[in-house]
Structure formats: structure tokens, C-alpha cells
Amino acid sequence: MKLLEEKWGVSAAAPVAAVAAMPAAGAAAAAEPVEEKTEFDVVLKDAGPKKIEVIKVIRQLTNLGLVEAKTMAETAGAKVLSAVGKDAAKDAKEKLEAAGAVVEVV
């Protein structure tokens, strides 16, 4: 084996070193910074016990009519706001939760 290593200029340890380096490369790729999400959806999970208050808040946030806002309040998983900024999503969530709704920002 030593004769082959000297004659051809190769090392028997090279494949082991390459395999050992592969997990390190994978860890480095995983450590790359993840882009921060800039657009959020405000999803209504449940209108809660104060449906009328929730409908009022939905109308304020979306400028929908009474019938459309009522339908949205009664539909589980309805998107109240779509592709809004972080601050707008947080503000909408706070207002809807204050009215008694269960809200999720995705």
C-alpha cells in the first residue's frame, strides 16, 4: 500500500477525510441566515362569544360591508388581511383579540 501511495501520489486516508468534511459542510449550509418574513396573513380561527364586536373590527380593518364581514366572522380560517406588514398584522391581531376573536398570524 505504501508503494502505491508513493508511486501514484495518492493517500488511502483521503476518502475518509472527504466523508468527515461532508457533515461540516452541511452544518455550515444550515447556519446561513434565514430571511425574515415580511408579509403576513391575519387568519380568523374563531369569532368567539362577541361576534358583533368582531364583525365591527373586521369592517374597520377591511372596509367590507356588513354581510361580507358577518360571513367572514362565521367562517373559520377566513383571511381577514392578506400580505400585510408585520406591524399591521400585529395591530389587527390585537384589535380582533380584544373583541374576543381567536386569531393567528401566518
CATH number at residue 59: 3.30.1390.10
Distance separating alpha carbons of residues 22 and 72, to the nearest angstrom? 51
Q: How confident is the model at residue 12 (pLDDT cuts 50, 70, 90)?
A: low
Q: What is the pLDDT of residues 35-90, one digit of tens each?
A: 667 888 999 998 888 999 999 999 999 888 999 999 999 988 889 988 898 899 99
- CA dist 92 → 17, 28, 49, 50, 56 (Å): 54, 38, 18, 16, 12
Overall domain count for the chain: 2
Same domain? 81 vs 57: yes
Domain residues for the domain of 8 are 1-32
